[in-house]
Structure 1
């Protein structure tokens, strides 16, 4: 597979989006980094970002999107993260939700996709990761009775609907769309999670009678869509790590250029220079893994295994880079506000085990 440098059109799109994100996204992200964003503010941000292409950049024009490649959308998303977007998970989840709705039955696609692309509605994703507890479903007289108790959900508090996988008694998986108005689900912060962390500390509960027109997929089709959702989540989780690393690397380079030790710029000392080279290599290695996955998606190839590798590698690289940056910059280095659903020892270990299962066919998650 060949990699190409960004085209002039891609560079222009990235530059325009970078200017917008730094001016509009960063102030909002800083304000709500440690607390729940109010409903109105969350929807306002979603619509603001939608005007500049996310989450519909890679959705075909015929379906209301911009018709760009997933690779181009990845470039825009990294800029969004560098402008503080890691604290605003609705946009990242919106990208995944939009891709999932694109494959939905026409009635569901027409009901939700235009509003998601325009930022008028926020969709949440429940229990999409391996080893997470699933909701239970029972098919009865053409309806799907869904029961969910304390199921992990990303970005659910301000959501208008939740896409939820549910396990039926017979075993097959069902993917259902639960509408906040129609099904009255409840989302709250997990009291066991400690401090608020956007998109990672919310739990979801419902007992809903779901009509057939809200059943997105069932059986093998649902399993295939769930794999596609995980692939998109993992790729963009990796890009989140890349964006944060690039931001920290830029700060470290600037620090090493202007600060002196023993009468010389820090960058002139071999140990510091070697550390900066190591940090830059971490960033580029993680970025290349993510870009390869996006290229595979654009080519219509399955890349769930590669996406899992990209996500855990990027997260682990980001933790290592942060440690190096804090050593280099000392007290001048602020601690990141890292989304725990993408980082943390448990999340990384689970991701490694999931990747190993896809390679060996044997699960070590239980």
Structure 2
């Protein structure tokens, strides 16, 4: 799948990498740890998840601070920092109102963002979310000790091809996974973050607490949770659904924290997700008629931008200079009121360009 990777700057100056792929109205995925924009499409861990989102929509996702293609040298991993990163991404992408999906710790970020920006989120989808981490007031002492033990194992064993940690992590993540998934778990660990950063991320996630903000969410919300989830207990998802007004809770029959493509639960998840998104309110888009003010050459260039081509690639394709491409883009941005290339990509795809 062709994707376009761009960068934006969060409130504290951290550069966040985000990617756009697919066609149609947008959906934003709040990325969790253990991801990498460049290799997720090749991964048997995440590939089927991405394919599910891009079938009829434009997927916008980002690498979390400290990992993937985003800035690695980061000190602040707080919930507020993660929300600020999401704010920067959706603004850079030129999105106005959109459905928002959050998995695990990404669910905490999605809940906080939806509570703080009800005008921007049309629908909220949560998977394996939790109300608070193990290090906050109210958490059981045993849960905190377990989290601290795993933090020590992460610092020692993260990214290794063998050892106790890999087996423990694999059993928490997808106990029913095969050899291919097991191999990629190590690869994703190595590519996504250093052991030190992975440990800091883990500890940060257990300081997240969305109990005060969950009750402020006012958008339609769908909450998924796997009954046999060993990473985030089923009860945590049930609690989250109970905190969000009018949220609908969907239990899934599986033991895997990350569902596998051949599971019945995966098919059920896909159907529930598709039905929920079909009921989404009409997304604000740029109508095709608004592109009528563009010349045929400008439409050609905008179509190429929507397909993820660089200025140099567009110049070569159309046999014009890069300067001419830049001049045309300046005119296109002015005519359509665009502020960034990422916004141009989303706008063009919403209008039906970039499909070939």
Q: What TM-score comes out, normalization by structure 1 length?
A: 0.31
TM-score, with structure 2 as normaliser:
0.31
Higher helix share: 1
Higher RCO (CA < 8 A, seq sep 6+): 2
